[in-house]
Structure 1
Amino acid sequence: MASFQKYSTKQGQKWMFKMDTGINPETGKRQTTTRRGFKTKKEAQIAAAKLEQDIVSGISIGNSNLTFQDVYNQWFFNHSKTIKLSTKKAIESKFNRHILPRFGKLKIKEITRPYCQKMINEIAELIVSVNDIKIQANQVFKYALRMEVIEKNPLEHVTIPRKQNEIINDETEADKRNYWIKEEIQKFLAITKKELKFRDHVLFHLLTYTGARKGEVLALTWDDIDFEAGSIRFNKTLFFYKGEFLFQPPKTKESKRLISLDIQTLSLLKKWRTRQSKAYLASKAYLSGNKMVFNRDDESPLRLAYPNEKLASLIKKHNLHKITIHGLRHTHASLLFEAGASIKEVQERLGHSDIQMTMNIYTHVTDYLKEQTADKFQRYIEL
């Protein structure tokens, strides 16, 4: 029940009311709220009635001063219990770098759609993956909506801007192609064999011939490889967190998989295992009989950025078509399709949980093969 009172100001007489708003869920104590500045008692009564109705409807008055940072802390405390450590680290990085500096200190109820649009535009000028930033920030606003901290999501209907040069000159298919065709990967592996350490050549060969993720390959131990059966098992991934290398479960349950290895790959791995064993036996640092397939001289795992750096360096040096480490995975899938593998076979080999991911690669490859049809006809007719 509200109590009303008249009070004096320099601008004249005003009305205020006080109301018991119930138990604060955060403190467990009863709380009251005071609202001032009403010109008449009737205005104060109308506002009090509205506030009382909000309380009956379950809208928490104690949340009125919550900042975006406060709500983020609550959301992330719960959300972090449902995700892997690597995902947690990635989310924290995005919030700390892009979202919290722009939203953190603001009262979440006072954040408007125009402000959100302005911030998204600003972030889009700095990074390419602005949509991912929007998705992460939106999770906090959706949480606030579910908890009835806010009544509307200000990020809803905010659009991702496109840069002018993207509108005028869309990327060509060649620019977007994040994989190599057969001749390109053959050239690359010949370069790695000639210019890199044998360990690194085997590493890139394995990435190409298995289509595995970088973290999966760097986490391999020798007992994951069955030389008799000619197979390799991927059941973990390497992750670096707070100065430590950690092994964690793979991306999805489908990522845990056993796949076959070809004779050439098995031969390379056997040679590398022999060289590695000899090097360890000759080294004073050899202590534990290391079981990892790829590591440094001190037996610690390779840095996760190491393959990326080597790949980028060779691409620049030899003016190769630019791809990422993930592009080697895409390359493996593309060549499998060209060799006649089915969509289901490629999905299982790559550990895709969603067949649509495999279908997207299949579409790229079939488009490329269609482009070769005219050339095939010409070669045939001219024989």
Structure 2
Amino acid sequence: MPRGTSLADVYDRWHKSHPKPDETQCSEHKSRTRRMVPTSDHGIGKRWQVRYRDLEGHQRKENFHTRAEADKRAAEVDVEIRSGSYVVPAETKQTLGAYAQKWLDANSVGPTTALRYEATVRNHIVAHLGRRELRSLNRPSVVQGWIRTLQDGGFEVSTIEGIFDIFSSILGMAVEDGLLPKNPCKSKSVKLPTATKKKIVPWSLERVRAVINGLPERFQAGGKLAFGCGLRQGEIFGFAVEDIDFRGGWIHVNRQVRLVGTKPVFALPKGNRIRSVPLSAQLAAALKAHIRRFPPTAVTLPWAKPDGEPKTFRLLFVDEKGRAYNRSVFNMGAWKRALVAADVIPPRKRGARYLQAAPEDGMHALRHAYASVLLDAGESIKALSEYLGHSDPGFTLRTYTHLLPSSESRTRKTIDDAFREAEAEAEA
């Protein structure tokens, strides 16, 4: 269609476009350019109507009170259709709350992630923007105002980033469904708060030993496994005797125990990444001693979700009642007591709870200590990434790059070693 031809036309619903000569003119409205003959809709509803065909060829009609409003909308529709950014107005009138539920229903994620998504959408997105129509969100200023609300709520930057990613995904699906012309979260004017990422400060070997010694006897080997192989807490809870290759010197990380809501289940390790990790002789001896003292216990849990297929494994680490460890109970009980024993946090005052440990003093600290020891010994980032179960060596590098021995130190050590070797050969 020629550029000068409008793709949207404005009609007067109250008066005929092509009246017959003998029809009576309207007594309320006059025009100098045409005869005003009332239609059967005269005086009913909005007078001015914009008509056009959408991108799929379907005719659309939108009504307005004034000619100015109709002309403005006609111009907008013309631009939207020509640029391919047109969306159906009726569908964009649905609320974000209703559409967010469609996004949740369409996601094919694990049960734990699904629960986290649902809680995030309900508490942090729908709670603030759920009643707004989708089309009203097509402005970066709305998104920026919502981000400010989250900041004022005292959320950590990392938490806001996670909520924002979900919100952006919801609006991204709306764009793909043709309900929004573009995702306002992608606008350059939308700025997330920034924070200096804290560098990981690994525990000293003295603290590692003190915390492990402060754990219950039945779990001390679990602490050694975290430090000696870099396993995550849930992976230790799900570690079975059949996962150990004493002869070959390997352990195999095949599963974890995780909570879906409040229900424990077996599941694949984080990122579905099964892996093998070298087993040192001393750690192997500690595991053998543990098995003699605390024989493996057969534990049956559903796989992946509360109603999943039951699976049974002979776990090395179970609580006093022979059950798989519950993360929340363990962290508030055995782990906090170990931190107290190692003077990481002060003892609990009578009648009060333990002081909350800093995030860096969670059980993950043993995993960080494992990484720092390997890097200090010259292990490659690629190998460390595989042992830790990271999907991307780049993530491992970004997380632990500050722990790598400096090039200056390596250079000095290399040259010193060369001098010593040369002097030893000369003396010989």
TM-score by length of 2: 0.67
Q: Distance in 2 between matches of 1:50 and 1:345?
A: 57
Give the paired residue count. Answer: 342
Per-residue CA deviation, residues 303-359 of structure 1 (Å, 9 max, x unaligned), is 123453343444356443952322221211110111232223212211222111222
Identical-pair percentage: 22
Tell me which moved more, 121-130 or 317-326.
317-326
Q: Distance in 1 between matches of 2:408 and 2:339?
A: 27
Gaps of 5+ in 1: 25-29, 281-287, 375-383
CA contact (8 A) 1:250 1:256 kept: yes
Q: Which has the higher helix share?
A: 1
In structure 2, C-alpha distance between the alignment counterparts of 1:120 and 1:278, rounded to whole Å: 49
* Deviation of 1:233 (Å): 0.8
Give 1:33 shift. Answer: 4.8
Asked if the contact 1:333/1:361 (under 8 Å) is kept, the reply is: no
**1:342 equivalent in alignment to 2:366:** no
Displacement of 1:18 in angstroms is 7.3
| Aligned equivalents of 2:411, 2:155: Cα separation in 1 | 39
- For 2:240, which of 221, 229, 239 is the aligned residue? 221
Which residue pairs with 2:314 in the alignment? 291
Alignment partner of 1:181 is 2:204: yes
Q: Report the RMSD for the aligned CA atoms in angstroms.
A: 3.9
- For residues 65 and 154 of structure 1, what CA distance do their matches in structure 2 show? 17
Q: Is the 8 A contact 1:72 1:140 kept in 2?
A: yes
Counterpart among 280, 284, 289 of residue 262 in structure 1: 280
Q: Which residue in the other structure is 2:147 paired with?
A: 120
Partner in structure 2 of residue 378 of structure 1: none
Contact 1:182–1:335 under 8 Å retained in 2: no
Q: Which runs of 5+ in 2 are unaligned?
A: 1-8, 16-27, 30-42, 299-310, 346-359, 413-428
Residue 143 of structure 1: CA displacement?
Answer: 1.7
**Secondary structure in 2 matching 1:232:** strand
Q: TM-score, normalised by structure 1?
A: 0.74
The residue number in structure 2 matching 1:311 is: 335
Secondary structure at the residue paired with 1:277? coil
SS in 2 for 1:127: coil
Q: Please identify, of 311-320 and 115-124, the stretch whose mean Cα deviation from structure 2 is larger.
A: 311-320
Task: Say if 2:91 is the partner of 1:63.
Answer: yes
- Cα gap change, 1:50 to 1:350, in 2 (>3 Å): closer
Q: Any residues of structure 2 matched to 1:1-383 within 5 Å, and which?
A: 4-6=12-14, 15-17=47-49, 33-39=61-67, 44=70, 47=73, 51=77, 57=84, 59-78=87-106, 80-81=107-108, 83-111=109-137, 112-125=139-152, 126-128=154-156, 129-155=159-185, 156=187, 157-161=189-193, 176-189=199-212, 191-192=213-214, 196-252=215-271, 255-277=273-295, 291-309=314-332, 310-316=334-340, 318-320=342-344, 322-366=360-404
Q: What SS is found at the alignment partner of 1:305?
A: helix
Change in 2 beyond 3 A, CA 1:66/1:323: same
- 1:20-57 CA-to-partner distances (Å, cap 9, x unmatched) read 978x9xxxxx99754121247xx646745755885795
CA drift of 1:211 comes to 0.4
Judge conservation of contact 1:4–1:18 (CA < 8 Å) in 2: no
Q: Which whole-Å CA distance do the structure 2 matches of 1:257 and 1:279 have between them?
A: 23
- Kept in 2: contact 1:233–1:256 (CA 8 A): yes
**Aligned counterparts of 2:327 and 2:378: Cα–Cα separation in 1:** 33
CA, structure 1 residues 215+94, in 2 after alignment: closer, same or farther (shift >3 Å)? same
